[in-house]
Amino acid sequence: MNPKDVPLIYLSNVKKAYKTEAGDFLALKHIDLTVEEGEFVGVIGKSGSGKSTLINTISGIDRATSGDVWVSRTEISSLKENDMAIWRGKNLGIVFQFFQLLPTLTVAENIMLPMDFANMYPKNKRKEKAMEMLDLVELGDQADKYPSQLSGGQQQRIAIARSLANDPPIIVADEPTGNLDSATAEQIFSLFRNLVAKGKTILMVTHDNDFAKKVDRAIIIADGQIIEGYLRGTFSSLSHVDLAWLTKHVTVKKAESGSIILHEGGVIDKLYVIIKGTVEIVRAMPGKKEKIIDVFGPGNHFGEIELLHGGKSIATARASKDGVVKYAEVDKATWEELLKRSKATEQTLLETAGMRLKQAKSVNKK
């Protein structure tokens, strides 16, 4: 693969097996994952689901048993241990749940440590860089203190500043708010959000459902398999196995503000699921006028009427003027298999299609 064509984080058919007395235990099963630059991705899962193994595989702490692992345009599975450590120091910032600050070093010295290891800046510039990072997390006045003199929230902000020391493109955070009170956790989350706005890519393991709803995208780990969060919300009656299968069979696309996703009268051979943004459902009216009959947000879908009942699109779907829309396409073959796998999902889609068809017909009468 050409590194220039690979997403910032790219995992393909990744397995991770641990040897036990009872035989090999598969902690990760056929993982496919893509994370683009500037995404804020939450990783959610129960204890033992595989989320820490996933994070460790991405950061190179664990080696995949098989499959391709590309991070920051580098195939890290091919790196030797010494090369891996150097690569990690330059490309990843890691934030731990328990801070992992060295107690015998001052705050500034803790932040300078990654710079010393990776030799990223001249020695006479490292203190200055550390102070920049401290100012970023609003703790510039704590530079000469020791970790034990700071609160838990302050220590976590120092840990974040340390993770940024070498200006890595990716921040990996493993339960960074797990030991903090709710107000302090909110501050840490806001700090992460600001870092994403500045161009960083963040992968954050969290058990906090409120935070999971605020990230750009949530993925769920269940039994070593990845489930896209928006699919679980949209198809709540599907089992984890079926959701994991569906995750591998969707195509994610973007539509610019105001652009047409599908035209009224066009042939529909896909189901569309909105991930981010809002979509206007528009009908053509007499006199070349149009009428917005509905507005769909994340978790909503369209195209099910035509797939279930046949015929051409009964309306135009257009990205609203609020911003870019991110959506997933489920092709017809996957759609048909989905209905076979879950009669409950088929029934729900039939009910939704019936309700929307009735709504469309009522618009025609007005």
pTM of the model: 0.80
The pLDDT of residue 20 is 86
Tell me: do 87 and 144 sit in the same domain.
yes
Tell me: do 146 and 118 sit in the same domain.
yes
Which residue would you say has higher pLDDT here, 364 or 110? 110
Number of other residues whose CB lies within 10 A of the CB of residue 46: 12
Q: Residue 3: is its pLDDT beyond 80?
A: no
Tell me: do 296 and 175 sit in the same domain.
no
Phi, psi of 294 (to 5 degrees): -165, 160
Determine contact, residues 152/95, Cβ cutoff 8 Å.
no
CA distance 211 to 154: 20
Q: What is the pLDDT of residues 54-94, one digit of tens each?
A: 999 999 989 999 999 999 999 998 889 888 988 988 899 88
Of 225, 245, 265, which closes a domain? 245
Tell me: do 233 and 254 sit in the same domain.
no
Q: What is the pLDDT of residues 189-200, one digit of tens each?
A: 888 898 899 899
CA torsion sign for 53, 55, 60, 65 is positive
Q: What is the mean pLDDT of residues 254-279?
A: 92
Tell me: do 284 and 183 sit in the same domain.
no
Please tell me which of 195-204, 307-316, 352-361 the model is most confident about, judged by mean pLDDT: 195-204
Q: Which residues are CB-neighbours of 348 under 8 A, at least 6 positions away? A: 237
Q: Residue 264: is its pLDDT beyond 70?
A: yes
Enumerate helices (H) and strands (E) in the chain, giving the number of each.
12, 18
Determine contact, residues 13/32, Cβ cutoff 8 Å.
yes
Question: Tokens 């009468």 — which residue?
Answer: 365
CATH number of the domain encompassing residue 225 = 3.40.50.300
Tell me: do 25 and 103 sit in the same domain.
yes
Q: What is the DSSP letter of 267?
A: B
Q: What is the pLDDT of residues 87-113, one digit of tens each?
A: 988 899 888 777 788 999 999 999 998
Of 202, 229, 245, which closes a domain? 245
The pLDDT of residue 210 is 75
Q: What is the mean pLDDT of residues 125-153?
A: 88
Question: Tokens 């500034």 — which residue?
Answer: 108
The pLDDT of residue 363 is 60
Tell me: do 204 and 304 sit in the same domain.
no
First-to-final CA distance of the chain: 56
Tell me: do 219 and 355 sit in the same domain.
no
In this structure, what token pair is assigned to residue 285? 């009216």
Q: Which residues are CB-neighbours of 363 under 8 A, at least 6 positions away? A: 283, 291, 293
The pLDDT of residue 360 is 67
Q: What is the mean pLDDT of residues 195-210?
A: 86
Provide the domain limits for residue 169.
3-245
Residue 299 CA from chain centroid, whole number: 15
Q: What is the DSSP letter of 189?
A: H
* pLDDT tier at 186, thresholds 50, 70, 90: confident
Q: What is the pLDDT of residues 303-312, one digit of tens each?
A: 998 888 887 8
Tell me: do 241 and 323 sit in the same domain.
no
The pLDDT of residue 33 is 92
Tell me: do 21 and 119 sit in the same domain.
yes
Q: Residue 364: is its pLDDT beyond 60?
A: no
> Rg of the chain's alpha carbons, rounded to an integer?
24
Tell me: do 76 and 38 sit in the same domain.
yes
Q: What is the mean pLDDT of residues 345-353?
A: 89
Total count of domains within the chain: 2
Tell me: do 97 and 155 sit in the same domain.
yes
Beta bridge partners of 284: 290
Q: Decide: residue 310, CB within 10 A, 0-12 exposed, 13-18 middle, 19+ buried.
A: exposed
Of 221, 245, 269, which closes a domain? 245
CATH number of the domain encompassing residue 321 = 2.60.120.10
